[in-house]
Structure 1
């Protein structure tokens, strides 16, 4: 309550003054909380923003082009240009070497617009982004596996895509790389007489990468490891499958010689997992 002689302020006027004061405080804080957000606001028409992004692409300014494409989706999400701007942002991020952002934008496109015109492009960008980060077979192959999965998806969903030929070629390269990685680790275990661990690696090559260049050595190494463990049936089967499919291979000569030292010959046993795997994979025998 106001004291004697003090002006009396109506409750309604107090409310108005409070709102004005709050607005002034928010305005004063705008430079702190609203500056970044303000940069996202672009009132140009979507086709204008999209055109500016294309111009940046042509100049090779990929990072800025990606941000400009995102402006279309942020400020005009329901425009005709918004859908394509997402995948183009992904492409620009890829060209800029910002692979995580490229994958994120491509995933977003495929989530929001599955089966649309640029879906194969988005899937291809995911494959390329991981492929460009693949290292040599002695290193961790996480990116190789992700790239292979992305390209496999591309070939399954979009077999007639203009990106299919390159994807098929890269799938062969990646599968051989992954098989080589398994062989590198398997040889290490074999040298250190850790035969079970070695067999598991060579088995992966036989079960998952039969069409790669590594398959011949993998079968010979299985012969070697199984002989070291005294598991003769599996050793004979590995050598028999190797000889049947690759009779002129130097690895078959090694496997045949290894068995011969024990008075044995290659012989395929029906109960062997190698026999079952080979038959189940379309029958290279």
Structure 2
């Protein structure tokens, strides 16, 4: 019976001790300004390093949510997700932007981007190498995409 109490205690002790042995990850962008974060993210986006661009844009949004670069970062993170072949994330980022900034002058671009992402939602990696006929694809993503483009035209 005493052994049953000792095992969970030792397991908990090893888990807690293991956390202290992990190396601390240094965030090199910790002291960066909003301008530095935005410029570096934009540079990564231009170089097609979408994963790093997404990290930097999200870091910018988290640290400076009301700064002058935050709204543009929200648009560009949606684009980066789209280009990184993450249509669900792109649509979620676009929806967030539309909900937060419905009167923004570039909201029409976000609707367009949302339509593109939804159109490509049904296709996978295999679709790039072995294209299928559009008549064989699920019409759901095309229908949703049409709806988003219709919203774009109406607004």
State TM-score, norm by structure 1: 0.41
- Separation in structure 1 between the aligned mates of residue 136 and residue 54 of structure 2, nearest angstrom: 34
Say if 2:111 is the partner of 1:123: yes
Contact 1:42–1:75 (Cα < 8 Å) also in 2: no
- Separation in structure 1 between the aligned mates of residue 84 and residue 91 of structure 2, nearest angstrom: 13
Q: 1:155 maps to what in 2?
A: 153
Out of 42, 49, 74, the residue aligned to residue 30 of structure 2 is: 42
Q: 1:89 maps to what in 2?
A: 77
- How far is the alpha carbon of 1:106 from its aligned partner? 0.7
- Separation in structure 2 between the aligned mates of residue 107 and residue 143 of structure 1, nearest angstrom: 16
Unaligned runs of 5+ in 1: 1-25, 158-285
Flag the structure with larger Rg.
1
Out of 73, 82, 90, the residue aligned to residue 61 of structure 2 is: 73
The 1:31–1:44 alpha-carbon spacing in structure 2 relative to 1, beyond 3 Å, is farther
Q: 1:139 maps to what in 2?
A: 137
CA RMSD of aligned residues (A): 2.6
State TM-score, norm by structure 2: 0.72
Unaligned runs of 5+ in 2: 1-15, 123-132
Counting matched residue pairs gives 128
Cα deviations across residues 191-216 of structure 1 (Å, max 9, x unaligned)?
xxxxxxxxxxxxxxxxxxxxxxxxxx
Q: 1:228 maps to what in 2?
A: none
Contact 1:123–1:150 (Cα < 8 Å) also in 2: yes
SS of the equivalent of 1:80 reads coil
- Separation in structure 1 between the aligned mates of residue 152 and residue 33 of structure 2, nearest angstrom: 34
The 1:136–1:80 alpha-carbon spacing in structure 2 relative to 1, beyond 3 Å, is same
